[in-house]
Structure 1
Amino acid sequence: MKLPLRLRILITTIVLLLVWGHIAWDYFHGGIPTHYLLHDDNMPGFPNWLGGIILPFFTWFLLYRIHKRIDNTEGDVASESLRIVLFRFIAAALVAIAISVCFIHDVKEIDYILGAVLVLAFFFPIYKSEYLLGWVLGASFTFGAIIPMGFGSIFALVFFIFYTLPRKLIGFFKKPKQV
């Protein structure tokens, strides 16, 4: 199953409506909150309306990357199915929601969750776009959109290194020596 243009437009439109609906709700119920980097008022702040502008473009960009990867036009079979992509998205969104709930209720197990995700990065390709999109959409209700986009992008880079570097090293040392 492929990710057609119509579905990408629909998903991006839904994200656009949800994020601006949330911003409108905040505006009429006490004001639009500002989220601070590292939860410190001395650090730069990002108001939710800024995420309302950037998040739909970010969603469109990641959906395009997913589309390019799973809609294999050169071969007969796509490398991944839309079902696997959806499963990965939901898994990342659930992890982000769990971290958000722990943060709201001041539960200290966030470190353990993030540690488990770091370990999983060695075994699963959690740097892929669907994981990043799930993370950002799952965490944006609590942290705004900008902070999850920034940290998620950094995590994706780290996860890419964790996943690919050991495989490259193993492949390098397994090469037969030429005489």
Structure 2
Amino acid sequence: MNEKSFSKVALAGTALITVAIWVLLAWSHYHGGVPSHHFLARADMPEISNWWGGLLLPVLTGLLLYRIRRQAFGKPDSYCEPTQALLRALYGFGGALLFGTLIAVLFTAGESDMAGNVMLSLFVFAFFVPIYRPECLLGFVLGMTYTFGAVLPMIIGTGLGLVGLVLHAYLRRGLVYAGAKLLPTNKPGVNG
């Protein structure tokens, strides 16, 4: 896939997400009202209406797809081909979509403790996989939008992405560097 065709796909995807969120909001409006959600599901925290998702989700989708395009096609000296970068982005998106959907399903089923534990397991996962990439945030938000609206998953996903960046790009890299310095290496030709 070339950059021009990806741009067309990104535009169509943004339009599809825009239509989908507004259809969901309209359906909710005529079937009991558009819900609002308290941050962290606590009544003493601020309440955010799902109406905000009608504005946030199309903008977020467009921006994140733009970032994915820049990652895949923006650097001519990139370490991987655009096709590989897009395939990696597709896997990240799919994994995050499934992860967000799992949390939403567990929460809807009344298993909020289990959903919290699954969320915490993400920190271990983030040590090995770069969950801070834009495709992961997009998949996570889309997976949780039906249950929680778009605003809360975006806030939580951004926070998780920042923690994932620290764990994967800095802590992991530092531990690998320290491990390489501490472990003895056998250098050829050196008898000691």
Q: Tell me the TM-score normalized by structure 1.
A: 0.90
Residues 19 and 52 of structure 1 are in contact (CA less than 8 Å); yes or no, is this contact kept in structure 2? yes
Moved over 6 A (4+): none
Q: 2: CA distance between counterparts of 1:50 and 1:18?
A: 14
Deviation at 1:86, TM superposition (A): 1.1
Aligned residue in 2 for 1:78 = 81
Q: How many residues align?
A: 176
Task: Provide the secondary structure at the position in 1 that maps to 2:127.
Answer: coil
Q: How does 1:35-46 map to 2 (within 5 A)?
A: 35-46=37-48
Structure 2 residue aligned with 1:125, among 108, 122, 130? 130
Q: 1:35 to 1:2 in 2, by over 3 A?
A: farther
Could you report, residue by residue, the CA deviation over 1:3-35 in whole angstroms, capped at 9, with x for unpaired residues? 522111101000000000000000111111111
* Unmatched 5+ stretches in structure 2: 182-192
Rg larger in structure: 2
Identity over aligned pairs, percent:
34
Q: 1:72 to 1:172 in 2, by over 3 A?
A: farther
Q: 1: CA distance between counterparts of 2:114 and 2:50?
A: 26
Q: 2: CA distance between counterparts of 1:132 and 1:173?
A: 31
Deviation at 1:84, TM superposition (A): 2.0
Q: 2: CA distance between counterparts of 1:22 and 1:133?
A: 18
Question: What RMSD in Å do the two structures reach over aligned CA positions?
Answer: 2.0
Matched, 1:149 2:154: yes
Residues 71 and 85 of structure 2 are in contact (CA less than 8 Å); yes or no, is this contact kept in structure 1? no
* Unmatched 5+ stretches in structure 1: none
Task: Provide the secondary structure at the position in 2 that maps to 1:46.
Answer: strand
Q: 2: CA distance between counterparts of 1:120 and 1:112?
A: 13
Matched, 1:58 2:64: no
Residues 92 and 132 of structure 1 are in contact (CA less than 8 Å); yes or no, is this contact kept in structure 2? yes
